[in-house]
Amino acid sequence: MSTSTLQQKNAGFGTAPVFFTAISTILGAIMFLRFGYAVGHVGFLGTIAIILIGHAVTIPTAMAIAEIATNQKVEGGGEYYIISRSFGLIIGSTIGMALYLSQAISVAFYIMAFAEAFSSLIAWFLANYHVPEFIATALGYAQTISVPALFLLTAVVLTKGADLGVKMLYIVVATLFFAMIAFFLGSGVVFDSSANQVASDVGFQWSNTISEGSRNSFFMVFAIIFPAFTGMTAGVGLSGDLKNPSKSIPLGTLAGTVSGMIIYVFIAWKLTSSATPEALADTSRLVMADIAWQGYWLIPVGLAAATISSALGSLMVAPRTLQAIARDEILPTGGMNKWLSQGRGKNDEPFNASLVTIIIALVFIGMGEIDFVAELISMFFMVTYGSLCLISFLQHFAADPSYRPSFRSRWYLSLMGALACFGLMFLMNTMYAIFALVLLFLFYFGISALNTEKRGLAGIFQGVIFQTSRQMQVFLQKADKEQEVGWRPAIICISRDSFDRIAAFDLLRWMSQRYGFGTYIHQIDGYLSRDSTVNAEAIKERLIKMAEASGSNVYVDTMITPSVTSAIAQVVQFPGISGKPNNLLLLEFAKLHPSNLDDIVNNFQLIHAVNFDVMILGTSERGFGFKREIHIWITSNDYENANLMILIAYIIMGHQEWKNGFIKIFALYPEEKLETEKNRLAMLIQTGRLPISPSNIELIPRKLNMDNRKIITSKSKSADLTILGFRSELVKNQGKDVFLGYNEIGNVLFVNAGDQKEIK
């Protein structure tokens, strides 16, 4: 379904509903029911710390939402829409499901808090009127009020829709405003009736708390209080009903967040100066009502107004999130997606999604434990907020030209918000944090398994990887000015027979797995055209799949060129993908049918002109055999090649597929030089810390008119790879004969060093 269908049909609200929805949710249930509890357990300074830490999460999140919202058209689904259109549908819906659960559970939380507003009225009623015992028992359960309240509120939302909900917000905020004025005007002081303390002794105490034995930990208190600060995103869920979301969301969200933080600081000050820690920590009493002017009725009315407003906001937002997820066809079955995506009336009200939300809310209302629900909500909100901050940070880092928000946060604020979210989850409650993250992973794997065609985790960090790669390439290029320590292969291989002979690709992936970097180019004969380009893309996809199947770190590409000379000329000028220039060219031919060997020999001087190291692989039907033995043949003509040959063998042996292998060196020198060469090789192996046993060095005296090929063939019949050196002068004089005559042994790698390598 197109994204345009997510836009509600009659969107006309301005910024005020976003602000009022946010502020009425921020100044809600937690403020009335548990903020005194926080001051009592951690003191004034501890409460200020909770406010600051909480807003270290919510302010970066509010700024991230404002930023992302001004970069795109925000349609129905609010935060879910923002996440899914930034991270992709699989990740977006994974986080969206966690977001939806937090919103649906919030409905239960606020309805349960709404029931608390009637506790003093019920207590007064039971004390002054005689009622049957079953009625008195029923009134003792919060569900007696909360369940009917949920059904009544649902009926209002489903029949009247968001229009009535937004109109109610103005009444609720006005009531909340008068309740707050009454609280700050209140001159009463509250003390614990069990303590020998008079009211006048209370005073203002900055950090006093209840006794050590009954005090809850800071982060446990934080977990219960944190939902008080999460209301700033409540207005985002109305995105589909807003006239100008890119303006209203940033303005309303940030205004609500900052206003709420300031008000909470003053509330903490008022509570600390008006009540003892013991009285504040008593969750069975509504301390704010004892402090406020006319508090016995104004504070419960304010609580009822705030909680019903928050419940109303959550009940409007949660079904819209679920409806948007269903419209993206994310859920397991088409029927489920169709049923949940259906809307009713001219405003496209999410009727079916509301029914599901009510069922979830009923389950948690049935549990009846408000602190448990508060902690659980905190976890899901942390996951959502952390993800939003992470999106903002990654977008800053990726520097995508299409990311042009009219409001900009700061990358370090977004990073701080993301780290704070994921860190605080574990500090608040490790078990709940693990549960939330495990549930998130289950959502991800389930959704990705059902939606294989949609972009998943692999596509998230493409921009970040691009920027990291770009910066590293620039850094490495500049670092060329300094002396490089040791030799590292940056290999580029070119072949026309990628799918007939894979030996060259295997050699490239072994050498680039850990110690170097490999680029594999498949040569396509012909001229550049639309058809040849399409063919090249298809071949490239095959190469990528081949690379993935082998678990290689090789970068693959194709080249359309009319000749081998043109191909080599282009390849030796390629910039290194790793940021370092390429320094080694790998070519290959089939020993039994060396049809392309002439092309290699004819272009060798071109390669030699740019001072590349060269490897030419002669492949046999045996391939690399059991990947155990690598034989290196060093002669008196290999002064410059020897060290490179040994390094290549060492690098190949470092790959997992050669873990049971060993290197054997054959030194073919005139008899009078054998002892000197033996000592040189022994010193080279010792100082270079090479894994070559002295017993695997064999010295062979070279006699006049001796045929080296026969000796190599007889000694290396069992080798899985034989490495031989060759000189450019020899290629110039003898041509392709340099590489022929080794058909009786396995794969042969001919090595020519552009300059001598040092083994440190």
Sequence-distant (≥ 6) Cβ neighbours of residue 264 within 8 angstroms: 31, 35, 51, 228, 229
**pLDDT for 193 beyond 60:** no
Encode pLDDT of 597-635 as tens digits: 988 998 888 887 788 899 999 999 888 989 999 999 988
Handedness of CA 81, 86, 91, 95 (dihedral sign): negative
The pair of three-digit structure tokens given for residue 435, joined into one six-digit string? 């549960």
User: In 10 A of CB 140, how many CB atoms?
Assistant: 11
Give whole-number Cα distances, 293 to 188, 566, 720, in Å.
Answer: 8, 90, 92
pLDDT band of residue 307 (cuts 50, 70, 90) is confident
Q: What is the mean pLDDT of residues 387-412?
A: 76
Amino acid at 9: K
Encode pLDDT of 453-464 as tens digits: 555 455 556 666
Cα distance between residue 446 and residue 285, in whole Å: 45
Q: How many residues does the chain have?
A: 760
Cα distance between residue 454 and residue 469, in whole Å: 25
Q: Which of 11-25, 344-358, 693-707 has the highest mean pLDDT?
A: 344-358
Q: What is the mean pLDDT of residues 739-758?
A: 88
pLDDT for the residue numbered 188: 62
Looking at every residue in the chain, the average pLDDT score rounds to 80
Cα distance between residue 105 and residue 311, in whole Å: 10
Q: What is the mean pLDDT of residues 244-258?
A: 80
pLDDT band of residue 157 (cuts 50, 70, 90) is confident
The domains found in the chain, sorted by start residue, are: 10-459 (1.20.1740.10), 486-587 (3.40.50), 620-760 (3.40.50.620)
- Percent of the chain exceeding pLDDT 90 equals 15
Q: What is the mean pLDDT of residues 737-746?
A: 91
Q: Where are the beta strands (DSSP E) in 193-298?
A: none
Closest residue by Cα to residue 504 from 592, 560, 586? 586
**pLDDT for 343 beyond 70:** yes
pLDDT for the residue numbered 616: 94
pLDDT for the residue numbered 453: 59
Amino acid at 20: F
Q: What is the mean pLDDT of residues 310-331?
A: 83
3-state secondary structure of 659: coil
Encode pLDDT of 685-740 as tens digits: 666 556 677 777 888 887 777 788 889 999 999 999 999 999 888 888 888 989 99
**pLDDT for 41 beyond 70:** yes
pLDDT for the residue numbered 390: 83
The pair of three-digit structure tokens given for residue 635, joined into one six-digit string? 């002669």
Cα distance between residue 568 and residue 230, in whole Å: 61
More confident residue, 383 or 407: 383
pLDDT band of residue 371 (cuts 50, 70, 90) is confident
pLDDT band of residue 202 (cuts 50, 70, 90) is very low
pLDDT for the residue numbered 3: 38
Q: Which of 187-201, 295-309, 447-461 has the lowest mean pLDDT?
A: 187-201
Closest residue by Cα to residue 240 from 80, 462, 474, 438? 80
- Cβ(611)–Cβ(727) below 8 Å: no
pLDDT band of residue 678 (cuts 50, 70, 90) is confident
Q: Which helix (H) or strand (E) holds 474?
A: helix 462-479
Instruction: Give the pairing type, strands 584-590 and 555-561.
Output: unpaired
pLDDT for the residue numbered 747: 94
**pLDDT for 392 beyond 70:** yes
Sequence-distant (≥ 6) Cβ neighbours of residue 29 within 8 angstroms: 109, 110, 113, 114, 116, 227, 228, 303, 306, 307, 310
pLDDT for the residue numbered 75: 61
pLDDT for the residue numbered 14: 73
Return the CA Rg of the chain.
Answer: 37
pLDDT for the residue numbered 28: 76
pLDDT for the residue numbered 582: 86
**pLDDT for 258 beyond 50:** yes
**pLDDT for 203 beyond 70:** no
pLDDT for the residue numbered 607: 83
More confident residue, 396 or 413: 413
pTM greater than 0.75: no
pLDDT for the residue numbered 134: 65
pLDDT for the residue numbered 241: 62
3-state secondary structure of 751: strand
Encode pLDDT of 583-595 as tens digits: 899 999 999 888 8
Instruction: Give the pairing type, strands 748-752 and 721-725.
Output: parallel
pLDDT band of residue 5 (cuts 50, 70, 90) is very low
- Cβ(319)–Cβ(357) below 8 Å: yes
Give whole-number Cα distances, 744 to 285, 595, 747, in Å.
Answer: 94, 19, 10
Q: What is the mean pLDDT of residues 316-324?
A: 85
Encode pLDDT of 552-575 as tens digits: 888 899 999 998 899 889 888 887
